[in-house]
Amino acid sequence: MLTALPVVLLIAVANWLVSLVLDRVSTAKYSWSLMLLAATLIYAQITGVSGPVEVALVMMVIVWAMRLSIFLLVRDRNQPEDRRYRMMRKRYSPHFGFKSFYLIFMPQAVLAWLLSSIFAIALKSGGDAPLQWNMYHSAGLGLWIFGFCFEGLADRQLYAFNRQVIKHSQTMSSGLWRYCRHPNYFGECCVWWAWFIFAIPTGDGVVLLAPLLMTVLILRVTGINLIEQDIIGRRPDYAFYQESTSTLIPMPAPEPVIRELS
């Protein structure tokens, strides 16, 4: 992991410099998955990818990272800076661009490096004798496919919804968003817990760190909690949506959450 740390930090520094040029710190979102991918590829190069278990894990990380980065680039094209970053910019002005180095980019790099521990352990465990495929790998791969598709579909639905000419106060409550308020985050949690299941045969309890930490971040830190604090003030109909719709775990909605506009 120490071999990957300088590369992860270099990616963060390069992204920070780009953010200064563009005056847009939300570029940090685009390199998040790429830092995890870079670390994983370094671990794979050091340990060697010599069996189906290792190949499957590396491919899962590649596909996940590329989809997420490309989607964010497409979604945010010609859009203003993310509201969460605009709030931070206002709070930490002046010279927020330079302050973002230690407020955003470096913490993100260290976090990505810590989360990559699950891939370092899983790939190292193969060693000269590759791990044999077993039921944990099948279950992990199955959950990963489900979570990856669930997150991708949720992202696509919200992207299409936001491109429509609608009233600013209307809340997305159809498709997967009818069954929980954050189906994209639910899919992301499934992906990380799938990697945990995939890594169970290593016998190393440290692999539990990454999915637990990611789940806490999504629920309490940079994900749901922060997003909903911002949305409530902008969308009057969101309070009812909160009361009638599950937060993260998809559950059947007893009735239409919000009436569609005619």
- Give the pLDDT confidence score for residue 88 in this predicted structure: 86
In a domain, 262, yes or no: no
Residue 259 pLDDT greater than 60, yes or no: no
User: How many structural domains compose the chain?
Assistant: 2
Check whether 186 has a pLDDT greater than 70: yes
Most confident of 56-70, 118-132, 222-236: 56-70
> Given 96, 129, 162, which residue is the final one in a domain?
129
Q: How far is CA 107 from CA 5, 110, 190, in A?
A: 13, 5, 24
> CA torsion 36→114→26→224, rounded to 10°?
110
Between 104 and 243, the more confident residue is 104
Residue 240 placed within a domain: yes
Q: Which pLDDT score is estimated for 257?
A: 47
Q: How far apart are CA 172 and CA 256, in angstroms?
A: 12
* Residue range 91-96: mean pLDDT, rounded: 89
Q: Indicate if 40 and 138 belong to the same structural domain.
A: no
192 and 110 inside one domain: no
Range of 165's domain?
134-254
pLDDT for position 262: 36
Alpha-carbon distance 226 to 148, whole Å?
23
| pLDDT level of residue 169 (50, 70, 90 thresholds) | low
Q: Is the pLDDT of residue 209 over 70?
A: yes
**85 part of a folded domain:** yes
Q: Which of 121, 140, 110 is nearest to 44 (CA)?
A: 121
CA quadruple 257, 176, 68, 76: dihedral sign: negative
- Answer yes or no: do 53 and 84 share one domain: yes
- The rounded distance, in Å, linking the Cα atoms of 23 and 5 is 26
Widest Cα–Cα separation across the chain: 64
Asked which of 86, 109, 129 is the last residue of a domain, the reply is 129
Position 79 scores a pLDDT of 81
Is 260 part of any domain?
A: no
Q: Which residues contact 90 (CB under 8 A, 6 or more apart)?
A: none
Our measurement of the distance from residue 133's CA atom to the centroid of its chain's CA atoms, rounded to an integer in Å, reads 27
Q: Does residue 259 belong to any structural domain of this protein?
A: no
For residue 206, is it within any domain?
A: yes
Q: Torsions phi, psi of 181, nearest 5?
A: -80, -15
Q: Are residues 150 and 202 in the same domain?
A: yes
